[in-house]
A and B are shown apart, each in its own frame.
Chain A
Amino acid sequence: MMDPNPLSVILVKSDSKGDRLLFRYPYTTDARSEAGQQNRRRNPYALTITEDLLQTPPPQTSNICNGHLTGFSDEVLSTLFAVKPELCERKFELKVNDVRFVGHPTVLSDSIILTNIVFALHATASHSIVKCYYDLSKRLGIALRHEERRCGYLSQETKTMVMAHDEVAARPEGEKPEDADSPFNLILERSTLARNLKAVYDDLISMGVVHVRVNRWIEVSFCLPQKVHQFDKKDFIIEPESIHRCLQSLRPYHGLLLLVESSELLNHLPPDASPALVRLVRMYSPLKSLQTLAADADLTVSQVFQLAGHLLYWARATVIYPLCESNVYVIAPDSPTHVSSPLIERFSEHFPGMNLLQVMSDFSLPTSISLKINPLNHPQHQSQLVQMIVWMLQHRLLLQLHTYVYFMPTANGPRLPQERLVRQQSHSMHQSSTRDGSYQSTPDEQFSVSVGGFMGGRAPSESDLSSNISDDVLVTPGSKLNGLPIQTSSSLVSADTEVSFVSALEEEKSSLVREELLADFSDEERTAILKIPAAANPEDLHLLARLCHQGYLRGYHHLEEIMYLENIRRSQLLQLLDKFRDVLVTCETEDPAIAMFYSHSYT
């Protein structure tokens, strides 16, 4: 199985006095296990062939023992990683049996001193994991170079570590106590750099997020997305590429769900954090779409997308469709159901008297908040219900189902106007939307953010926002959901939307218009549509034709997206779907844009 954890971190230097391994962590007593390995034969019944052609000892095929690096002496590692000058300042990757070493050999002051912080990984770790570790090695190397130039930090640390090595080596044989026979204990006591490297290793193993201050001065932060997004789901790995893909398919109607308390997040931000991020977190609510958040925090949508990208990458937030009464949730296929899952205890700490498994079983069938809310219930019950849903979404136990609509008027199936075009469209979605997007204000985007994809130049208007929300917003009075920070902003107040295209058509009701509306359709399809009584109403017919024409009825757009793009209300859309149900097929599935945060049994 792919394992994102590091096996070891190794610090090697090379200078005028030659190369040396200064520090490695963890440094378990390697020699003993090695000796044991030699004595033990794999199979007691195996023949020992004396005249074996391979006179040298049997080859080693694994250098991993109980999750630790084994079989490499300090000297071997030091010659391997004190690289030739040609290999400096670029990626260094070496695989020995089942271990992969990666590092960024860094040259310090006047290219005399070379330092290399190397991470030993499982060879099966994916390329993206290796790349992340390379990046970490590079960052640490740059910090060290800076501190060396500023105050000779590394020279001093090197001296301390070499001294400790020599001290232990100089001790007479007999005096060496058993456990302290490694100089690394001493180094760990004396050197801040060694302690930093230990902290890096420990942080990577425990959380996947590293925050260290090199020489108590240079902050090095690093996040291993493959680890930090793992949560309690073993064997589930999110590659950074899929996070980037998620960001590309993000739309302004999506919302953020913080995975930590917003106060905690604000407290842990570094002092030089972007004030925009602080504003965003202050305005945050899981009920708000990214667009609303942008308006409330007085930021551009593209800025909010950028910040959301950061929060997502660092696993501080996840993407959801903003909470509202009509959202339908169901148990995620990969949610742990084991009776002794640690989540159960954490849940009952949060919600005394509640059993997680019992609550989860309530979501065995697709359930919405409006279905569960009983007007006779105490309002506190309802707020607790919402908070439980939030908690389960934060732990990725719940999955939201969306309704997708397919236009299928004839028995032969859906319309395939220009089959190839449809495919292309769906693939080039990102490109086109990034071109349309209005995020030029931030030229340094690491990930491309698409703003208002599909909108084809139409700027999101005020009414977009309000109509999108007015239907969906959970409950207007904040008292009902006192557990959640509902920001009553002006945008939440529903403004009557003007449905312009309907008025434009009001005067023309003749069959001529009808013919014109259905000009794109084949004869068969036209007959099927016209058979439906609702087709007599030009408004309805026009809307249907329009949705078809825009390609919204091909299973790529869920109801909420259509509502957003076409600026119509949920009730209006639902009525239309009901009226034309004979030519439509609906389907409930998850939104693939944000489904990568769940491991699916079908993938």
Chain B
Amino acid sequence: MEEDTRYFEGCGHEGPIRCIFLCEFHPVAGPKITCQVPEEYVSKEIFDAVSVYIIPKPQLQRSILTVNVLGYKITGFPVRIDNTKYARNAYYFNLCFVCDAWARTVQYEPVVKKLSEYLMTMEQETGFLSNENKTENEKVRLPAILKQILEDLNCHKMTTVIEGTTTMHLKVVKVASDPPHVSDHHVPIFIVDQNMYREQQWDLTTQQVLPYINGFNHVAKIAAEADVENNLVKACVQNLVYYGAVKLIPIFQYCNVYAATPELRYLAGSKKFQEECLLYVSKLDSNPPNLRDVFMMYCSMTHGTTLRDLCVRFNPQALRIDERKLVQFGLLHKLIRRVHKYPVFVEGKSHLNHMTPLEQAFSGLASSDEICCITGLSSQQLDEEIECNPGVTVIWK
């Protein structure tokens, strides 16, 4: 019963592989399932209704096809092998994974394709699939292989199958959404235990960059300190973001403005969350600060109040609060958000050609962080520039 409410079409959950079958185009009988694990999962009636999508027109050969009808979601990669030895001068087959209609199945697509290609090789080398005169021993091989793949992929997300001279390595890789664009002013911060990433499992560039990711260095600084080309650092950080190892947060500065978000109420409501927070923002490990002080500092973050103002008002040192960690924790848990400053050219020169590079940066697209990173100005110098230019106004958002 509970499953019904949790798993519906569009729930976004990944689902297990329910069945793997091999479909061939029989020269006389047409498309038919020649091997299925577990047997009879896809009935004859269902298969007949969808066979046109399993053995499709030549134009769709070697495309990944997923058909979702009648409660079955079937993913396959139809293949044709041309050879005069076959009855119709060609051999058609499709190795399909069957899942529940509600499941998300993109992660299986590369696996289906790879497995089909292994089978294609085996067919071309030994006629593994099409051989009609198999011994009893050979006949049970394919079902056994498919059974192993089904079980291993569902349990361990990976498998290695050895058949004759072919070794098949299959792995289900989670498909995440595209990572965001990484800019010079972004600060990467680990959201998993960093020691897990100390191992030698990363490429050389990443290994060189990793020690400089500390939640305070921005990308441009990491590039300079690690002595790695800027774009490589960006690619590397983007990769880490994709795998959920790091998150991107804005640069820490005392002149920054932050605003509390509605998420703050969860901090007020959960003892566990509070303990985690206090431990994180504490100046001294042995003596964590008071929750009320921490909470008040978060609540006081609003438009128009810089962190410097808050430090003057609360004196976090005396409250045993590390304000840099406070901001970090708030950003990571979305208790607060950064209020960015956008200098915008409102009046005056209208032609971009007559503008200095700095004035061109005041297009309203770049925040002050970005402008500082591009021009190399400090935020104070930038403020002075804005002050001097009467045509520029500032929008905080």
Q: Which residues of A contact B (CB under 8 A)?
A: 1, 53-56, 59-60, 63, 71-73, 75-76, 79-80, 83-84, 86-87, 90-97, 126-128, 130-131, 330-341, 355, 357-358, 360-361, 364-366, 404, 406, 408, 410-414, 416, 419, 422-423, 426, 554-556, 585-592, 595, 600-603
Contact = CB atoms under 8 A, between A and B. Distances in A.
A369 B362 CA distance: 29
B65 interface: yes
B302 A588 contact: yes
B337 A53 contact: no
Interface stretch (B182-190, B232-240, B265-273): B265-273
B120 interface: yes
A585 B12 contact: no
Interface residues of B, number: 76
Q: Give me the 6 closest cross-chain CB pairs, A-B, nearest first.
A: A127-B10, A413-B291, A555-B265, A59-B62, A602-B337, A587-B299
Contact of B292 (A87, A95, A413, A419): A413
A341 B344 CA distance: 12
17 contacts: A54-B120, A79-B56, A95-B68, A97-B63, A127-B9, A333-B337, A340-B363, A341-B364, A357-B364, A365-B303, A366-B304, A414-B291, A419-B269, A419-B270, A419-B271, A587-B264, A601-B337
A586 B52 CA distance: 64
A361 B344 contact: yes
Given A86-B70, A357-B344, A339 B363 contact: yes
A360 B364 CA distance: 12
Interface string B202-231: 000000000000000000000000000000
Contact of A80 (B52, B265, B347): B52
Q: Kindly name the residue among A83, A413, A585 whose own CB sees the greatest number of chain B CB atoms within 10 A.
A: A413
Interface in B239-270: 259-265, 268-270
Interface of B: 9-10, 12, 45-46, 48-50, 52-53, 56-57, 59-70, 80-82, 117, 120-121, 124, 178, 259-265, 268-271, 274, 290-293, 295-296, 298-299, 302-304, 331, 334, 336-340, 342, 344-347, 362-365, 393-397
Contacts of A595: 262
A370 to B, nearest CB: 17
Contacts of B303: 330, 364-366
Contacts of A80: 52-53, 56
B265 to A, nearest CB: 3
A406 B299 CA distance: 10
B264 A93 contact: no
B262 A592 contact: yes
B63 A422 contact: no
B65 A555 contact: no
B125 to A, nearest CB: 9
B236 to A, nearest CB: 23
Contact of A75 (B57, B63, B259, B339): B57
Nearest to A124: B177
A418 to B, nearest CB: 11
Given A1-B178, A127-B10, A339-B364, A76 B60 contact: yes
Contact of B80 (A56, A336, A406, A590): A56
Nearest to B363: A339
Contact of A331 (B46, B81, B396): B396
A76 B265 contact: no
Given A79-B57, A589-B262, A365 B346 contact: no
B56 to A, nearest CB: 7
Given A1-B178, A555-B265, A94 B67 contact: yes
A556 B203 CA distance: 47
Given A59-B62, A84-B48, A410 B292 contact: yes
A408 B295 contact: yes
A422 B273 CA distance: 14
A587 B261 CA distance: 9
Given A333-B397, A366-B302, A412 B269 contact: no
Given A338-B364, A366-B303, A586-B299, A416 B64 contact: no
Nearest to A414: B268
A55 to B, nearest CB: 6
